[in-house]
Amino acid sequence: MTEALPTDAENHHAIRTESHYRLMRLDDVKSVFEIDKQVYPFPWTEGIFEDCIKTGHLCVVNEIDSQIVAYGIIGMIVDEAHILNLSVSRPFQGKGYGRELLIYLLALMKRGNAVRALLEVRESNQTAISLYHSLGFEKIGTRKGYYPAEDGREDATVLAKSIA
């Protein structure tokens, strides 16, 4: 998972010509954190993003004209790829960037010899759940009270997809 990212031309999925995927750097963290605050009621901290980069998670951003519009973070545990974060900045949501990023990340996982992709998602997050279902993720369980919520805790749906 540490090898160079494939170029757009190498990737057989439809990567939009105007957007550009690259590894997240420490100097991206401020922008990424600003997006995280926009899109989540309980965002990560800048420190969590920095730790993800420093610990060697696969951290990818998609940018248009040097502006980050989406990012994804994957942690590998042996041959399982755990999608820890997948986000599109609010003005770019609903335009296909989330699907494109997920397809891109799945291609990277396959190149990294992962056999399964795994993630947690809030049970109320129907937008994300329908995206994951449309790309073949299936529910494998529930984690009770996994997320903080305004009125207590919210369960996570655990989804997985075989990518062997």
Ligand X SMILES: CC(C)(COP(=O)(O)OP(=O)(O)OC[C@H]1O[C@@H](n2cnc3c(N)ncnc32)[C@H](O)[C@@H]1OP(=O)(O)O)[C@@H](O)C(=O)NCCC(=O)NCCS
Choice between 2 and 104, CB closer to ligand X: 104
Using CB atoms, what's the residue nearest to ligand X?
A: 98
- Return the biggest CA–CA distance within the chain: 47
Residue of 29, 52, 75, 98 interacting with ligand X (CB under 6 A): 98
Is residue 74 a contact point for ligand X (CB under 6 A)? no
Distant-in-sequence contacts of 128-132, Cβ < 8 A, 24+ apart? 128/86, 128/98, 129/157, 129/159, 131/98, 131/99, 131/102, 132/102, 132/159, 132/161
Which residues sit opposite 63 in a β-bridge?
Answer: 20, 68
26-65 mask for ligand X (x: CB under 6 A)? -------------x--------------------------
Is residue 95 a contact point for ligand X (CB under 6 A)? yes
Catalytic residue among 21, 132, 147, 154: 132
**Cα separation, 33 vs 4, whole angstroms:** 24
Is residue 140 a contact point for ligand X (CB under 6 A)? no
Q: Is 138 a catalytic residue?
A: no
Residue of 41, 47, 56, 94 interacting with ligand X (CB under 6 A): 94
Helix ranges (H only) for 5-135 are 29-39, 46-54, 97-111, 126-134
Name the site residues for ligand X (rule: CB under 6 A).
39, 86-88, 93-99, 119, 121, 125-128, 130-131, 134
Instruction: Point out the residues that are catalytic.
Output: 120, 132
